[in-house]
Amino acid sequence: MDNRETRRDDAFQRVQTFGQDNTADFAAGSTALANFTIIGQVITGLDNAKAGQKPGRNTSKEVLLDEIRLDIQNITRTAAAIAQTQPGFADSFRPPANGNEGVLLTTADKFLQQFAAQPALVAQFVAHEMSADFVTHLQNDRATVTTAQTQQESNRETGVGNTATIGQLIAQGMQALTTLDVIMHNKYAGNPDKMAAWLTASHIERDAKRSNPQPAPQTPPKSP
């Protein structure tokens, strides 16, 4: 598993622990407990699939799609905040109607077209603490999905099969995590300690920014 997948696996394990620690808060047969069970099954499936992976493989398409989903979520949430003082601003940055792959990619393409047509928009998002390179990040994530689609269509080896399995499991886990997130916000709205514990457990880090390497100092040539 690569870093993206590992970060999600780590989040699933933290969420599983949170569920085990707070089982008494939820009724038997509840939607919450059902989704904690799914998280546990996903973790087991990931452990099994990792053992059959080939080294040097590529990130599964499903995980890359989740990266785009997070990109879009950040953009639409920020656009909604800007629209509070600029009515209509969010009209061009509406969230996708569903999590379908085609709808997700179409939304990403639409957003990229908007930023290309109106570069000044970027500054308004950056003013709300989005990364200065968030558009480039979305472009790269979008391009990587296309590459992953080509690779998955041209490869059918066992290792690639395990990669696809991992992607499917992570997609399943993310769906359960999203459902749990809604439930926890409702359940613990009046319990800041447990809400904070949930947010810590369910948080997924994004890729770290790469700093530009500083050139090595040049030693001046010695005089003859």
Query: What pTM, to 2 d.p., does this model score?
Result: 0.56
Q: Which two tokens stand for residue 94?
A: 């509406």
Q: What percent of the chain has a predicted confidence (pLDDT) above 70? A: 80
Query: Which one is predicted more confidently, 4 or 9?
Result: 9
pLDDT of residue 204: 86
Residue 112 contacts residue 121 (beta carbons within 8 Å): no
Q: Which two tokens stand for residue 82?
A: 């800007």
What's the whole-number average pLDDT of the chain?
84
pLDDT of residue 22: 96
Tokens 């447990």 -> residue? 194
Confidence of residue 116 (pLDDT cuts 50, 70, 90): very high
Residues near 155 by beta carbon (within 8 Å), at least 6 away in sequence? none
Q: Domain limits of the chain? A: 1-54+157-196, 59-156
pLDDT of residue 12: 95
Q: Which of 92, 93, 95, 116 is nearest to 104 (CA)?
A: 95
pLDDT of residue 152: 58
pLDDT, tens digit, for every residue of 147-195?
Answer: 776 665 555 444 555 777 888 899 899 999 999 999 999 999 999 999 9
The mean pLDDT of 84-88, rounded to a whole number, is 93
Q: Which of 76, 10, 81 is nearest to 47 (CA)?
A: 10
